[in-house]
């Protein structure tokens, strides 16, 4: 379980988060949604202790995240961030194998089980055939799938992902998020695509200008009344066979300029 309460944060004195809370129950997928600049990535980074909030608390299974030792933290939380790792000359297989590092001491060699888990993770994201490729030669989407495989190999019981579908085509967007759900671990994921959030998230936290505009079950958050004031677009919610679908239309705030007379 991941929980945050009354989290506040500022960059160089500029408030970014104000009294934000979040609860991700064990085995559930919680989506962080909201317009650009609403504080989604900042909140995610606070959840895994990459940033220290001005105020508030973050708990991992009722234990303050700040109390976890540096070696214990990656055993509990796997992270797929937006930042691309340094362009190191390593193979795809070696990049995924790094997910096993938290389970080994600095001088301890990887075991046969580590290699098996890394290979299985690559297979699950459709990258097994590229295991021997240099990571730096991959496309953006292939790199993203590799990093998700690394998180899977890490076998932490909490998973945090920041826009994991960036650079992925439609097929792999759905395949990766379907896989995330199938892992059955506590997950917090930042998503911009609200239709992906509708299909794969159990619970949503909608941020707007650093505050929680709405939090709750997915169907309660993805409503016309909630979304239109935040995103400033017209929203239609359609009932599909197995999942709601959202259709957006820009709102016109200014009338079209009229041609001048003469």
Contact indicator for 73, 24 with CB cutoff of 8 Å: no
Q: Tally the domains of the chain.
A: 1
| Residue at 81 is within a domain | yes
Distance CA 95, CA 140 (A): 15
What distance in Å separates the CA atoms of residue 58 and residue 47, rounded to the nearest whole number?
A: 6
Residue 85 in contact with residue 146, Cβ under 8 Å? Answer: no
Q: Nearest CA to 203 among 156, 191, 154?
A: 191
Task: Report whether 76 contacts 248 (CB < 8 A).
Answer: no
**pTM of the model as a whole:** 0.88
Pairing type for strands 203-208 and 211-217 reads antiparallel
Element (H, E) at 11: strand 2-11
Sign of CA dihedral 137, 140, 145, 146: positive
Residue 260 lies in a domain: no
Let me know if residue 257 belongs to a domain.
no
Q: pLDDT tens string for the chain (262 positions)?
A: 999 999 999 998 899 999 999 999 999 999 999 999 999 999 999 999 999 999 999 999 999 998 888 888 999 999 998 876 667 789 999 999 999 988 887 778 889 999 999 999 999 888 999 999 999 999 888 888 899 899 999 999 999 999 998 878 898 899 889 988 988 999 999 999 999 999 999 999 999 999 999 999 999 999 999 999 999 999 999 988 788 999 998 875 544 455 555 4
d(CA 179, CA 161): 13
Q: At what angle do helices 112-124 and 140-154 cross, to 10 degrees?
A: 140
pLDDT of residue 255: 44
Beta-carbon contacts of 69 under 8 Å, excluding residues fewer than 6 positions away, are none
In a domain, 153, yes or no: yes
Contact 127, 92 (CB under 8 A): yes
In a domain, 159, yes or no: yes
Distance CA 239, CA 249 (A): 18
Cα–Cα distance, 178 to 14 (Å, whole number):
37
**Which CATH number covers residue 204?**
3.40.50.300
Judge whether 258 lies within some domain. no
Nearest in space to 186 (alpha carbons), one of 84, 65, 39: 65
Question: Would 255 be classed as within a structural domain?
Answer: no
Q: Is the torsion defined by CA of 176, 23, 73, 86 positive or negative?
A: positive
Q: What is the 3-state secondary structure (H, E, C) of 196-262?
A: HHHHHCCEEEEEECCEEEEEEEHHHHCCHHHHHHHHCEEEEEEECCCCEEEEEEECCCCCCCCCCCC
8 A C-beta contact, residue 151 and residue 174: no
Give backbone dihedrals phi and psi of 131, rounded to 5 degrees, phi first: -55, -35
Considering the domain boundaries, does residue 181 fall inside one? Answer: yes
The predicted structure's pLDDT at residue 86: 67
Which domain range does residue 170 map to? 2-250
Give the residues across from 104 on adjacent strands: none
């Amino acid at each position: 379980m991941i929980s945050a309460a009354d989290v506040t944060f500022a960059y160089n004195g500029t408030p970014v988060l104000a009294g934000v809370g979040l609860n991700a129950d064990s085995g559930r997928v919680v989506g962080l949604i909201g317009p650009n600049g609403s504080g989604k990535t900042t909140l995610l980074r606070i959840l895994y202790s990459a940033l220290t909030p001005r105020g508030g608390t973050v708990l991992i299974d009722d234990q303050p995240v700040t109390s976890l030792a540096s070696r214990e933290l990656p055993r509990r939380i796997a992270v797929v961030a937006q930042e691309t790792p340094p362009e190191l000359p390593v193979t795809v297989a070696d990049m995924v194998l790094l997910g096993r590092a938290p389970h080994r001491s600095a001088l301890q060699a990887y075991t046969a089980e580590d290699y098996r888990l890394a290979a299985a993770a690559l297979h699950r994201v459709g990258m097994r055939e590229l295991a021997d490729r240099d990571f730096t030669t991959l496309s953006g989407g292939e790199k993203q799938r590799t990093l998700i495989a690394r998180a899977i190999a890490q076998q932490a019981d909490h998973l945090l992902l920041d826009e994991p579908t960036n650079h992925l085509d439609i097929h792999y967007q759905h395949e990766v998020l379907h896989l995330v759900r199938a892992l059955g671990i506590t997950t917090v994921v930042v998503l911009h695509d609200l239709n992906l959030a509708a299909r794969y998230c159990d619970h949503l936290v909608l941020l707007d200008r650093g505050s929680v505009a709405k939090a709750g079950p997915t169907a309660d958050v993805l409503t016309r009344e909630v979304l239109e004031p935040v995103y400033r677009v017209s929203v239609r919610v359609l009932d599909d066979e197995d999942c709601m679908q959202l259709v957006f239309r820009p709102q016109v705030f200014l009338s079209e300029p009229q041609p001048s007379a003469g």
